[in-house]
Amino acid sequence: MDFALFSLNNAWLIPLLPFLAFVLIAFAFKNMEKTASTTAILFCGVSFLLALGVVAGVLQHPELIEHPFVKEARWFSMPGLSITMGQYIDPISAMMLFVVTLVATMVMIYSTGYMQGDPGYSRFFAYLSLFACSMLGLVIATNLLQMFIFWELVGLCSYLLIGYYYFKDSAREAAKKAFMTTRIGDFGLLLGIMFLQINFGTLEFTELADKLPAFAVAHPGLLTIIGILVFIGPIGKSGQFPLHVWLPDAMEGPSPVSALIHAATMVVAGVYLVARSFTLFQVAPEAQHFVAYIGGFTAFFAASIALTQREMKRILAYSTVSQLGYMMMALGVGSLTASMFHLMTHAFFKALMFLAAGSALHALHGTADIFEMGGLRKKMPWTAAFMVIGTLAIAGIPPFAGFWSKDEILLMTKLHGFTGLYVLASLTAFMTAFYMSRMVFVAFFGKENPHNHPHESPWNMLLPMSVLAVLAVVGGLVGTPWTEHGFGYYVRYGELHHAEVDWSVMGGSVVLAVGGISLAWAIYGAKLIDNEKLAQRAGFLYTLSYRKFFIDEIYQWINKVIVDGTGRVLYWVDIHIVDGFIDGLADSTGWAGRTLRRVQTGQVQHYAMIFFFTVVLVAVIMGLMGNHSAMALIGGGK
């Protein structure tokens, strides 16, 4: 049996191998650092090879687009509910398997250099392996429940890794923030999943796809609600507005983690989920438009924040939020291909940039402010080159990877008649080019900071970066409008359609990208315009952007005033009303007991007295009421 076929049939091994690595490291190689990292890389590398096999298999069998290769085993079943676990292979999941295993392997190799000497070295690799396993399990999920399980596991891993430096207050806070913010989204997703199960009696993607169209005709409103509920999950996980606040804080984790989270795992899980449930959104146009507008707004909003940020990784984080917004927007306007294409190229160049940023931070021992870096180009030529490649890719300069995918999104947005979103996305592209090159000009070019003594990173950090750099350059070529059997041929939903090459969109986006870079060069490179003065001139806008539109402060306020206030009121109700009632009940029985206890004096004569007067009382009653009714009263007779 040839390797491609073997990989197709055994794709479930791909998530299993990193899990085995995790178990081995966690329980056997805890104190053997070298063995731990080697195990992690080896197992993930084998997964990568298998993923390559799956990709090859998918390329050999184009019919998998319409008929996914599903292999599953029943996990449990009861009346009305049958849950399976298995693998769902189609071009989308094959592409994701390839991207995730590739980036994870690269990040792991990089980490052997970056994490050298860290006391938690083995722990780090255990977490990375588990992270890879969770994401891969999510990718091959055959049903929404399996997906949700791994979805939560991904959340757990991100929590563990963001809070990797658990002895640092800020890291702990960031981990908590990430976990809780995404949990808000997960709740919406869970509700959506339950709605689907109740209405369709299944969570299998294939069965859902069959049943959805008929249901859409009968209950369009309900389906819209379900779609929006499901989308709340991705809003949390993929850092869409307004649940984006955790993503920039997640920078507290080590840089390789940021690369993994931002490029291949956590945040793209949301995009992938929407893509997986694309059939649902396809038949619920309102929900789909909701996705489009949230995505478009997020893209613009995050880019406008990134304009003024000073920390390198924060700029990158906001760019991630912005790019994810692009992907969501692409899904929202109805182009699965454009979104998945951008997801892939973004994974290459964003992982590259985070690793390069990590390399710079590593060399500077944690200086995060780009204005304190300056002139890294001379001491770190490779890192600088990689960062420039990444920047050109994300800015959308042809022929770098980002250009093709972003162009596809812009084109699709325009083609599907979302003119407003098209303008917004183009503006975002301009801003992206500007803030990314601002970072490069300030941190890598410009004047050297005499306090810094950077040195180039070792080969095991440069090697993965160079692999990613190559992909960031050529990765987009598989999806150019001129490739007959390129990306769009395999990764699509519905009919294959060839859009004409729209030179105005293509030319416009290049102009915008070049314009953004030129503007950044004018301000930060050539210093034709003084950036300090510019900031003062646009004081209000600058503050708004620099302080991230005060979203965090608003949440703090909501938290303090509304949540805590409600909490205080409820606490009062609990203490005084609920507890008061129960305590009162207990007190009254206690009081009754204490009072009645006095009756039992132990004095024979008291008892005799009570007995006697009771008899007298009965006699009086009988005398007054007549024998018959008195007997009834006492309960004796009829």
Residues that bind other proteins (CB under 8 A): 597, 600-605, 608-609, 612
Q: Assess whether the previous peptide bond of 242 is cis (omega < 30° from 0).
A: yes
Q: Which is nearer to other proteins, 507 or 623 (CB)?
A: 623
Please state, in angstroms and rounded to a whole number, the distance separating the CA atoms of residues 136 and 155.
13
Least separation in angstroms between residue 589's CB and other proteins is: 17
Q: Which is nearer to other proteins, 31 or 600 (CB)?
A: 600
Least separation in angstroms between residue 621's CB and other proteins is: 20
Q: Which is nearer to other proteins, 218 or 596 (CB)?
A: 596
Least separation in angstroms between residue 597's CB and other proteins is: 6
List of residues 6+ apart from 437 with CB closer than 8 A: 391, 395, 516, 517, 520, 521, 524
Q: What is the dihedral of CA 414, 418, 422, 424, to 10 degrees?
A: 180
Q: Which is nearer to other proteins, 447 or 597 (CB)?
A: 597
Q: Which is nearer to other proteins, 62 or 590 (CB)?
A: 590
Least separation in angstroms between residue 588's CB and other proteins is: 20
Least separation in angstroms between residue 627's CB and other proteins is: 19
How many residues make up the chain in this entry?
638
Least separation in angstroms between residue 612's CB and other proteins is: 7
Least separation in angstroms between residue 605's CB and other proteins is: 6
Please name the helix (run of DSSP H) or strand (run of DSSP E) that holds residue 274, with its range, or none: helix 266-276
- 3-state secondary structure labels for all residues of 366-402: CCCEHHHCCCHHHHCHHHHHHHHHHHHHHHCCCCCHH
Q: What is the dihedral of CA 479, 481, 483, 488, to 10 degrees?
A: 50
Least separation in angstroms between residue 159's CB and other proteins is: 58
List of residues 6+ apart from 322 with CB closer than 8 A: 298, 299, 300, 301, 302, 303, 306, 428, 432
Q: Which is nearer to other proteins, 573 or 616 (CB)?
A: 616
Q: Which is nearer to other proteins, 554 or 616 (CB)?
A: 616
Tokens 């290459």 locate to 348
Quick one: how far is CA 300 from the chain centroid?
19
Burial 210-238 (b: 16+ CB within 10 A, else e): ebbeebbeeeeeebbbbbbbbbbbbbbbb
Provide long-range contacts, Cβ within 8 A and 24+ apart, for 73-79.
none
What is the token pair recorded at 378?
């001379």
Least separation in angstroms between residue 594's CB and other proteins is: 11
Q: Which is nearer to other proteins, 528 or 609 (CB)?
A: 609
Please state, in angstroms and rounded to a whole number, the distance separating the CA atoms of residues 199 and 177.
34
Q: Which is nearer to other proteins, 556 or 601 (CB)?
A: 601
